[in-house]
Each structure stands twice: as C-alpha cells, then as structure tokens.
Amino acid sequence: MALNWGAFVCERTHTEERPFSCSHCSKQFRTSSNLRTHQRVHTGERPFTCSVCGKGFTHSSSLLKHKVTHSNERPFKCSDCGSGFKTSGELGSHQRIHTEERPFTCSHCSKRFRTSFNLWRHQRVHTGERPFTCCVCGKGFNHSSNLRAHNLTHTNERPFKCSDCGSGFKSSQELMIHQRIHTEERPFSCSHCTKRFRTSSNLRTHQRVHTGERPFPCSVCGKGFTQSSSLRNHKATHSKESPFKCSA
C-alpha cells in the first residue's frame, strides 16, 4: 500500500507527536521542513530575497508581505469605511477602531489596547525605559517615532509631503491625519450620537459634551473647560490683556 504522507502528517496534529528536534535548542517539530525553517533562526539564513531592496527573509510568506510595501497596492479593504491596507494584520488592527475591541490588557494599570505592539510600547510608561536617545541634545524617548518627530525640532525639515496639495509635515502621522481633509474620511464615531471625527483626540474632546467632563479648570475662578484653548481664551477675561489686536 502506498504511503499517504499528507494523512501521516495530519495524524501528528492529533497525537501531538513531534519527532524532529532542533540541535540548537529544545524545540521539536512535526515535519522536517518545519525544522529546517526554524533552524534559520539560529543559522541566520535568509534564502528569500527581495528583488527591489535586497532584504532577506526566512519564509517565502514574509517576503510576499514585504513586497507589498514597495507598491501602492492595498488589497485588504475595511467593510465599514472602505479604507485599504497592505496586510490582513493591518486591516484587523484598523477594524478594532470600528468595533472598539481592545483585547490586550496592561498588567500594571489595566489599560487596554487594540494591538499587542501598542501594549508593549505603553508598558514603557511603567518601566521608565527610554531606549531611543537624541544624538543632538541627549533627550530620551520611549518610542522611535517620538525620537524621529523630536529630531525634526532641531531642523525645519518637513519630509512627509501631501500628494494632493503639497503641504509638508514632520511625521507620517501628521500627514495621514491631514490627508483625511482631502478624502473626507472620519473613522472615529461617537457612541453617544451620530457625529464622526478625523482623529481620536477630536472624538475624545467631543465626548465631553455628553459626559460633562471639564478637565481644564481656571486657576483664578475655578471654572472648568472642555478644551485647553477655551481655558486660555477665558484667562484673558481676568486680566487687562487683549490678545486680539486690530491690524488697521
């Protein structure tokens, strides 16, 4: 009788048999091909190379995902707002904006996050870790993106350009938010009413209309405001300052 290799391997998923052992560590695998792929972690072998930038990968699937970064293709579409994404993982993270699902919980403060990466970055708030240091002034940051944005404060560089109007921005995040002016995308929905917003911060500010929260109190009279800009305008009423001058 001919050996049905596929059925043979399938049976191991039920028996949990893992006869192939890594000689570098204690991990075991069901098939020899899985073992060979794993051993690349130890050998550093990256046999799948990107023809555009030369970057190597241990898996062909990783190379396929990487290649999408060199194109404008965004094949994974959100069924709620129509936004396109380069990977299914990016789409899954985005969809949590609509579902408000936050499956990753911080063990220090119980704050919840949409992605494991965001949780990992947040935990530096508790550990005090600031691994990214500015080479100009020595200031440390807990996120590489914060360091990149900070570095631009030492220059007037605005490398992120809008393809619609040519405006320049210091970070890709600022550019992405700006582009919603052109696309009219408003991915952040208020759970109390039907209003939608371009940024999560605008949504948080708006929700204070419903919650009654006024986190910006006046140090002179104690009156509270929903926005820091409203507090600044109010403070002028306690002084003789007239911040709005007529240019005529």
Q: Give pLDDT, residue 26.
A: 77
Reported as a pLDDT band with limits 50, 70 and 90, residue 111 is: confident
The pair of three-digit structure tokens given for residue 219, joined into one six-digit string = 């140090």
Kindly give, in sequence order, each residue whose CB lies less than 8 Å from that of residue 197, ignoring residues fewer than 6 positions away: 186, 188, 189, 190, 203, 206
CA-based torsion, 159, 160, 162, 167: positive or negative: negative
> What is the arithmetic mean of pLDDT over 89-114?
86
User: Does the pLDDT at position 6 exceed 60?
Assistant: no
Q: Give pLDDT, residue 14.
A: 62
User: Does the pLDDT at position 99 exceed 60?
Assistant: yes
Instruction: Name the 3-class secondary structure at 189.
Output: strand
Q: Which residues of 52-86 are buried (b: 16+ CB within 10 A; e: fewer)?
A: eeeeebbeeeebeebbbeeeeeeebeeeeeebebb
Taking each continuous run of H as one helix and of E as one strand, the counts in the chain are: 10, 16
Radius of gyration of the chain (CA): 26
Q: Looking at per-residue confidence, does 109 or 12 come out higher?
A: 109
Share of the chain above pLDDT 90, in %: 8
Q: DSSP alpha helices (H): ranges in 44-129?
A: 60-67, 88-99, 116-122, 124-127
Mean pLDDT, the chain, whole residue set: 83
Contact between residue 114 and residue 96 where contact means Cβ atoms under 8 Å apart: yes
Residues making up the chain, counted from first to last: 248
pLDDT digits (tens, 9 = 90+) for 46-72: 888 888 888 888 888 888 777 777 777
The pair of three-digit structure tokens given for residue 53, joined into one six-digit string = 């930038």
Domains recognised in the chain with CATH numbers: 21-71 (3.30.160.60), 76-127 (3.30.160.60), 132-183 (3.30.160.60), 188-236 (3.30.160.60)
Q: DSSP alpha helices (H): ranges in the chain?
A: 5-15, 32-43, 60-67, 88-99, 116-122, 124-127, 144-151, 172-183, 200-211, 228-235
The pair of three-digit structure tokens given for residue 171, joined into one six-digit string = 């970070």
User: Does the pLDDT at position 210 exceed 70?
Assistant: yes
Of 98, 61, 91, residue with least CA distance to 77: 91
> What is the arithmetic mean of pLDDT over 180-209?
90
pLDDT digits (tens, 9 = 90+) for 131-172: 888 888 988 888 787 888 788 888 888 888 999 999 988 778
Task: Report the C-alpha gap between 42 and 247 in whole angstroms.
Answer: 70
According to the per-residue pLDDT averaged within each range, which of 109-123, 138-152, 184-198, 231-245 is highest?
Answer: 184-198
User: Around 89, how many Cα atoms within 13 Å sit in the side-chain half-sphere?
Assistant: 6
> What is the arithmetic mean of pLDDT over 107-135?
85
Q: Looking at per-residue confidence, does 16 or 209 come out higher?
A: 209
Contact between residue 178 and residue 169 where contact means Cβ atoms under 8 Å apart: yes
User: Does the pLDDT at position 3 exceed 70?
Assistant: no
> What is the arithmetic mean of pLDDT over 84-113?
85
Q: Give pLDDT, residue 45.
A: 84
Q: Give pLDDT, residue 9.
A: 52
Reported as a pLDDT band with limits 50, 70 and 90, residue 1 is: very low
Cα dihedral 195→196→197→203 (10° resolution): 60
